[in-house]
Amino acid sequence: MALDGWQPTKLIDADAEAGSFRVHRDAYRSDEVFEREKALIFNKCWLYLGHQTELKKKGDFFARRVGGRDIIFNLDKNGKVGAHYNTCTHRASKICREHSGNARTFTCPYHGWVFNSEGQLSSQNAKTGYKEGINDDGHLNLKAVERLEEYRGFWFVNFNPKAISLYDYLDDGRDAIDALMDQTEAQQVILSGEHTYSINANYKLLCENSYDGYHLFPVHASYFDYLRDQMAGTPAADLIDATIADYSSNGAVRGLGNGHAILDSYVPTGRPVAQWLPSMGASVKPEIEAKYARLVERFGEERANYIATTQKNLVIFPNLVINDILSVTVRVIEPEAKDRIRVTAWAMGPTDESEELRAMRLDNFVSFLGPAGFGSPDDIEMLEICQTAAAHTPVEWSEISKGFGPAEDHCKVTGAPDDEVQMQAYWTMWDRVMSGEVTLEVE
């Protein structure tokens, strides 16, 4: 598709003095924009591949699609993490058709070429026809993804060999990941099993939704009714309405640089990490209080309080969401088309929690954030009706102005929990990358 002559800057219309931030709806509905996003965003940004703790034993692998490319994520026989393109160097077949497993070698289903866990070609399954030493330079080995780096066990790939480091790319997003990984002195791990589902909406609609405090009470009213019922007759019975009344003055949304942003908010669900509420039952109270006391010893009262009691919805630009709320969900949004996404979500938790707390954590994962939980179906309905309306009506602009005003850098602004400055940070970065103003490459 020809992209010449396309004017990317026309898609964002920001006037800080007037408090107006608008996004042209072509950003959600145009094939041309989607093609350009693949070239400029998904080929240049760091994209989440998987977590270290998913690879438990040497030989463990996952076949994943990341930024439209099939990749094998594995732990080789030397214990090194690898990311190779899942395509045979012979005549292109997909090498690994399993979703996950453990393998010393990968055998191509087409003509039987065999590759070891490090991606090296070890057999061409033929006695004749190939010259001795044909692969001495290694060009027939599986192709490694250009860049593979990790931060605290979160492995990302980048298809641009000149990309800045993951460390620099994550910017203040590192602190948000620290607040999650520091919850335990044992290990924070991906728990087995995953949710996958598709939504007929543009990937950015789900990014916006994932840290949108503004939609919480209109869309999730039934969830708050459920919490009220849970707390009826307990000393916390008035907590829900007090929280709703106070929501916008307690917490913040914060731009973290490079398009990443977080919603820090207070919602009375309780958190297995270290926030006990009567609705969780008396039996888990001592364990949660001990966890909290230990966090205070390690980090001081202020940081411990942030780690334990703040609900955090983090979006790492362009498509990773980490919801550290009533349980922890790591969610990656794979765009399949301008109006279709494939979502994969994993639960995360510490290895040193009791069975009772673990059960509560998993129940929370399923009951709110699961595809059939209290939260996700309502959100999905909203995203799909937004996508349909954006595509079929002549109204051209979406208004994302709440909390917008003059700032030195709109990628690092702060606002109230129900403002939209986190989305303004995202779109500002999106516009910078799409217009070529920011390359995310080392000079």
> Applying CB under 6 A, which residues contact ligand FES?
88, 90-93, 108, 110-113
What the block records as the tokens of 307 is 């780690």
404 binds, among ligand FES, Fe ion, none (CB under 5 to 8 A by kind): none
Distance between first and last Cα of the chain:
29
Binding part of the chain for Fe ion, among 44-52, 98-106, 127-135, 376-384 by CB under 5 A, reads: 376-384
In the list ligand FES, Fe ion, none, the entry touching 167 (Cβ below 5 to 8 angstroms by class) is none
CB of 333 to Fe ion, least distance (A): 14
Name the minimum Å distance from CB 93 to ligand FES: 4
**What residue 113 binds from ligand FES, Fe ion, none (CB within 5 to 8 A, per partner kind)?**
ligand FES
CB 413 within 8 A of CB 256: no
Find the DSSP H helices in 247-354: 285-299, 301-309
Which helix (H) or strand (E) segment is 114 a member of? Answer: strand 114-116
Q: Determine contact, residues 398/411, Cβ cutoff 8 Å.
A: no
Question: Tokens in use for 60?
Answer: 């463990």
Taking the complex as a whole, the smallest distance from the CB of residue 77 to ligand FES amounts, in Å, to: 21
Question: What count of residues does the chain have?
Answer: 443
- The closest alpha carbon to 201, from 343, 317, 70, belongs to 343
Q: Which stretch binds Fe ion (CB under 5 A): 55-63, 338-346, 374-382, 400-408?
A: 374-382
Tell me which of Fe ion, ligand FES, none is bound by residue 110, counting a contact when its beta carbon lies within the kind-specific cut-off of 5 to 8 angstroms.
ligand FES
Shortest reach from residue 88's CB to Fe ion, in Å: 42
What is the residue whose two structure tokens read 């789900």?
206
Q: What angle do CA 398, 401, 403 make, to 5 degrees?
A: 155
Structure-block tokens of residue 76: 């080789």
Closer CB to ligand FES, 98 or 396, in the complex: 98
Which of 76, 324, 334, 379 is close enough to bind Fe ion by CB under 5 A? 379
Question: What are the residues whose beta carbons fall under 8 Å from the beta carbon of 157, sequence distance 6 or more?
Answer: 46, 47, 49, 66, 67, 71, 83, 145, 146, 147, 148
CB of 344: closest distance to Fe ion in angstroms? 18
In the complex, the smallest distance separating the C-beta of residue 156 from Fe ion, rounded to whole angstroms, is 25
CB of 111 or CB of 285, closer to ligand FES: 111
Q: Nearest residue by C-beta to Fe ion?
A: 379
Which span sits near Fe ion by CB under 5 A: 9-17, 65-73, 295-303, 375-383? 375-383
Tokens of 167: 């460390």
Contacting residues toward Fe ion, per CB under 5 A = 379
